[in-house]
Amino acid sequence: MLMLQELPELLCSGTPPLLKLSFWMSLNKGLHLSIRCLVSQLPFFATFVYGFNTITARRHLWDNLRQWAPVQPWIIMGDFNSILSQHDKCNGEPVTTYEVSDFRECCYDLDLANLNYSGSHFSWSNGTVWTKIDWVMANNFLSELHSKTSVHFSTPGAFSDHSPAAVVTGPRLTTRRSSFKFFIMWTAHDGFLDLIANHWQSNVTGSPMYTVCRRLKLLKLPLKQLNNLHFSHISARVIRAESELHQHQSLLHDDRDNPQLLMQDKHLRLSLVNLKSLEKMFYGQKLKSAYLKECDKGSKFFHAMMRQINSDEILPQQLFAVMVCSPPPWMK
């Protein structure tokens, strides 16, 4: 198995080398490096981690990450041995809040979010249980690069039970950061109102207008975290849920009297229906936003919309005259 201390030599083994590395420190189950990509000229910090197999032992890792977290672009990756939700596990015992709370709190405290990824969703399997315990995340300082930095999880192959992850960085972006957008689908989450209420109690002093604006600004981070955990890539979530339901119903077809399969079928159906509803809310809001933005500009969008409205709702004058002068037989 590859040791964390061997990573710098491995990363610089290309011909010619594509990365310039500087070793910072090695903590308990974590190796911190400063990296500059010689292709994109992107400087960032990277942390390679390995999480222990038990919840209590992993808490040392979460504490070390909080202590070391740099106030600069940062990518953290490795085998965390921890999941974020039931969606990240297939088969085995149900996921409990106790299992995921430490990892979630660490991601929230450090403002870590998943990089866009492709390939395998579940990154580890023992042949029966499938889980996503290998993660590649980045902090908020790298958010401008999220659209240009991606990860691909390949299949495990013959010599490992983990999926290897390849991180691809693009050129640095010079455009300004996109503005915060509130999505209506967030309100469908069970903990949405509690999240708002808890963070609205933040101690802010100043004029009433400043207090309101400041509290709204403080809500951005928890709402982004809520989106990353439960709503990001909503269409991909729907596709995975459909695939999971399809596979499960194939099993149910061959074992129709199995009560566990029947119960799981109801759960998967309900989960897919909820995801479909969220996806509908997401695209409905985007469509309405695009309409309000483009409809008054006299753009191609506006004229195409007007042509559709005219063709759907206004009858040609000749056809209207024929209908009035010559009613069909069933109207006589």
Please state the pTM of the whole predicted model.
Answer: 0.47
% of the chain with per-residue pLDDT over 90: 6
End residue of a domain, out of 130, 162, 178: 178
Q: Is the pLDDT of residue 315 over 50?
A: no
Quick one: 308 and 173 in the same domain? no
% of the chain with per-residue pLDDT over 70: 74
- pLDDT on residue 122: 87
Residue 21 resides in a domain: yes
Q: Is the pLDDT of residue 327 over 70?
A: no
**Spatial strand order in the sheet of 124-125:** 89-90, 130-131, 124-125
| Average pLDDT rounded to a whole number, residues 119-141 | 85
Residue 74 resides in a domain: yes
Q: Is the pLDDT of residue 317 over 50?
A: no
Q: How far apart are CA 4 and CA 49, in angstroms?
A: 8
Q: What is the CATH number of the domain that holds 31?
A: 3.60.10.10
Please enumerate in sequence order all residues whose Cβ is within 8 A of that of 111, keeping only pairs 6 or more positions apart, or say none: 139, 140, 221, 224, 225
Tokens of 332: 């006589």
The least confident of 261-275, 284-298, 309-323 is: 309-323
Question: Helix, strand, coil: what percent of the chain each, to 5?
Answer: 50, 15, 35
- pLDDT on residue 330: 43
- pLDDT on residue 320: 41
Phi (first) and psi of residue 136, to 5 degrees: -130, 110
- pLDDT on residue 13: 46
CB 232 within 8 A of CB 282: no
| Average pLDDT rounded to a whole number, residues 285-312 | 70
Residue 313 resides in a domain: yes
- pLDDT on residue 323: 42
The SS3 assignment for 46 reads strand
Q: Is the pLDDT of residue 266 over 70?
A: yes
Q: How confident is the model at residue 312 (pLDDT cuts 50, 70, 90)?
A: low
Residue 36 resides in a domain: yes
End residue of a domain, out of 162, 178, 194: 178
Q: Dihedral sign, CA of 59, 85, 133, 94?
A: positive
Q: How confident is the model at residue 85 (pLDDT cuts 50, 70, 90)?
A: confident
| Average pLDDT rounded to a whole number, residues 292-304 | 67
Q: How far apart are CA 325 and CA 309, in angstroms?
A: 26
Q: How confident is the model at residue 319 (pLDDT cuts 50, 70, 90)?
A: very low
Q: How far apart are CA 257 and CA 107, in angstroms?
A: 42
Peptide bond into 329 cis (omega under 30): no
* Per-residue pLDDT tens digits for 34-74: 887 766 667 788 888 888 888 888 888 888 888 888 878 88
CB 29 within 8 A of CB 70: no
Q: Which domain holds residue 127?
A: 1-178
Q: How far apart are CA 96 and CA 179, in angstroms?
A: 35
Residue 210 resides in a domain: no
Give the mean pLDDT of the chain: 78
Q: How confident is the model at residue 274 (pLDDT cuts 50, 70, 90)?
A: very high
Phi (first) and psi of residue 209, to 5 degrees: -65, -45
Question: Which residue has better confidence, 162 or 295?
Answer: 162
Q: Is the pLDDT of residue 14 over 50?
A: no
The least confident of 8-22, 84-98, 100-114, 238-252 is: 8-22
Cβ count within 10 A of residue 176: 7
Residue 189 resides in a domain: no
Residue 261 resides in a domain: no
The SS3 assignment for 290 reads helix
Quick one: 168 and 313 in the same domain? no
End residue of a domain, out of 178, 210, 238: 178
Structurally, the chain folds into a number of domains equal to 2
Q: Is the pLDDT of residue 322 over 50?
A: no
* Per-residue pLDDT tens digits for 109-129: 888 888 888 888 888 888 788
* Per-residue pLDDT tens digits for 157-214: 777 788 888 887 665 444 455 678 889 999 999 999 999 998 888 888 888 898 888 8
Residue 307 resides in a domain: yes
Quick one: 22 and 156 in the same domain? yes
* Per-residue pLDDT tens digits for 209-258: 988 888 888 888 889 888 888 888 888 889 998 888 888 888 888 887 88
Q: How far apart are CA 29 and CA 48, in angstroms?
A: 8
